[in-house]
């Protein structure tokens, strides 16, 4: 079976619409395509990152955005943010654009792997729900390149299941940034936070 960390999904396109409701009662509508992470339902780790991310500054990157949940909801909740979103998967990018329009938010969306779409762009916050299925080397490269794309004092926040890759992610963040903390824990899910010093 094909996983979602590919440029061009080969599976037949199917679309399921889901409604995401925040704790504050606001609702967002997402068309979720097959061949993209979390088809047909928004995963728990994504919901946790949206509800508990630490947002500061102006420019936020949703790295590996899938069909756009994190970036779109954050733009909806914090209209003054400049939100940037990218994914390697062309179907993810296409549906991020559809979902941004459907939720009446203006965000910057590009296709590409890692930080390639952004050149030497620098951000205040980078958020990542990592593509664990793509393998350890892909995730570690995302972590190592994140530091180069943060302003001084910028925040890198990663959500993961601690016993399904999270422990090596936390260790890598400590090695690369020189600091890491658990920003939030719920069940087996953690948000790890590193600050660029």
The whole-model pTM stands at 0.92
Query: What CATH code is carried by the domain that includes residue 145?
Result: 3.40.50.150
- What local confidence, expressed as pLDDT, does residue 133 receive? 72
- What local confidence, expressed as pLDDT, does residue 4 receive? 44
pLDDT < 70 regions, the chain: 1-11, 37-39
Q: Is position 186 within any domain?
A: yes
Q: Is position 19 within any domain?
A: no
SS (H, E, C) 84-134: EEEECCHHHHHHHHHHHHHCCCCCEEEECCCCHHHCCCCEEEEEECCCHHH
- What local confidence, expressed as pLDDT, does residue 8 receive? 64
What range defines the domain where residue 62 resides? 43-195
- What local confidence, expressed as pLDDT, does residue 84 receive? 99
- What local confidence, expressed as pLDDT, does residue 124 receive? 99
Q: Is position 148 within any domain?
A: yes
Q: Is position 22 within any domain?
A: no
Q: Is 178 helix (H, G, I), strand (E, B) or coil?
A: coil
Domain total of the chain: 1
Q: Is position 184 within any domain?
A: yes
């Amino acid at each position: 079976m094909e996983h979602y960390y590919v440029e061009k999904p080969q599976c037949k396109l199917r679309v399921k619409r889901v409604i995401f409701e925040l704790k504050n009662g606001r609702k967002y509508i997402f068309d979720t395509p097959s061949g993209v992470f979390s088809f047909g339902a928004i995963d728990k780790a994504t919901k946790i990152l949206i509800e508990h991310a630490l947002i500061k500054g102006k420019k936020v990157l949703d790295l590996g955005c899938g069909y756009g949940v994190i970036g779109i909801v954050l733009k909806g909740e914090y209209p003054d943010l400049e939100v940037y979103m990218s994914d390697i998967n062309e179907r993810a990018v296409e549906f991020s654009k559809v979902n941004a329009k459907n939720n009446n938010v203006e965000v910057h969306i590009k296709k590409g792997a890692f930080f390639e779409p952004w050149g030497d762009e620098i951000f205040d916050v980078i958020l990542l729900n990592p593509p664990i299925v793509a393998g350890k080397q892909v995730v570690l490269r995302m972590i190592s390149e994140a530091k180069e794309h943060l302003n001084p004092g910028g925040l890198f926040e990663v959500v993961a299941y601690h016993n399904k890759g999270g422990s090596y992610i936390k260790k890598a963040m400590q090695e690369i940034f020189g600091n890491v903390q658990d920003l939030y824990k719920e069940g087996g899910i953690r948000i790890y936070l590193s600050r660029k010093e």
